[in-house]
Chain A
Amino acid sequence: MSNFTGIINIGAILIIAVAFFWNRAETHEQNDDEKMFGRICIMAIVSALVRLASDTFLTGIPVDGSRLLRVVVYFVDDMIQLAILLQWILLVDFMLHHSRDHLKKETPPIVRIMLIIAAFDAVVSVVVLYSGFFTNLNTELAEFIRTLFFRHAFGVVELIILIWAFRKLAEYNTRVKGPSDYRGLFFIIPIVLAVVISMIIGRTMDLIPLAIGIGLLLLFLAMRKNRRFLDRESGFHSRAYLKLLTRDDKNYERAMGILIKADDPEGALPAILKEDQPEEMKIVRLNKNKYFLIGEPQPESILKLFLQNITDDAKEKGAELSVNYDIRRDNESFDNFAERLESSLSAASQP
């Protein structure tokens, strides 16, 4: 095993293991993001282990007698790398959009690219094994040509994927209003650095496992920070999110707030709100039966239509709603805004 590969992969395994077990220790019932995060951690660890094992194993045996074995090991290694990249892309996509159907939509083209690379990899492997051209060369040269072929092809794929990820992040930053759920750039930056450094030092993609490890750790820290702003039971934002929104409110300087107080014995309202929630609206769960919806001001008639829809849907599920809404005042914090709506709703319901 070369020292370089060993250090990189052992370092990656340790860092990812820290992120994985820390995540597990802090979350009993994991949400979709955390489950996906756990899966990609396991895959990244397996990938680093395979690289470590193959490197250790292949270093210890003579080159001449192990050509088939080398090719098989490299192929398996590459397939695991492909799988982890696929999982990585899907994780980024899911964390940005939280859409299962979007994952479903994005997966086939990515899988197609992966399959082309896998096929290319397999062909090169077979050529290395049986081609007269390669056997006429000395083994190290053949190995070099082979490595040049698909390591570089693989590097190009990784770069394409990075560009894709950046495009997604840029799209996300322009689409999503209010404080971002995850600072995606945190976990992309190490990978970009790794690609650049690897290329400069002439070891294409060798730093990637470590970079993925650091990226995953940063992502975990971002997820962890984010948990404070999440109501785990409903999946909506928690009250703490209002402070964040007040601090980072460029998109909601003129905001409309709707306070919903529910008599909801069956606990049906979260599901109803999730289904009826307009794309542009943020939902904050103030306490068990109180919700605060924040969005851009809407014409009275459209707002009433929306509220009528929610009220009707709630009634169907046995819940009664009391609703109050208003426009946020200049420089009013979102906390105070919610309290103002709450107190005027309570006052209105007094006999």
Chain B
Amino acid sequence: MAYSEEQMRRIIAEYGPSVWRLAMAWLHNTADAEDIYQEVFLKLIRAKPTFENDAHQKAWFLQVTANCCKDHLKKAGRRHAAEEQPPAAEPAGENDALEAALDALPDRYRTIIHLYYFEGYQTGEIAGILKMKPSTVRSGLKRARKRLKDFMEGEVLDV
């Protein structure tokens, strides 16, 4: 199956942000996230997967992104660039505590938090995307919440 330019644009527009956010959540590094971003879409061209529906396609993108991030960290070692910050969308003061709390989380916890709170996946779906046991995802989510709560000093986490 060959994609037209228009199809490619649509795919990038539709799934690009999710890929980018997950890559950033995992890697916290813009340069690395850009590499992962392009690699994921090139895999789409090379593998030519067939999708049952949009949800399946999105899950495929997130799963490939997670795998690429894992491989990237394995190859490069832990290159967590603390100085790299995601672009501030709001006044810095509002997000300082959140960014600091997210930075303090281990990679896998940060990824679970992202997929759970932003992408809206259930723990079972997250387990499928990250190739983890559901119990591992649930325990990771629980620990991540506790750390965020402790770090944000009294922020009420409705989780």
Q: Do A and B bind each other?
A: no
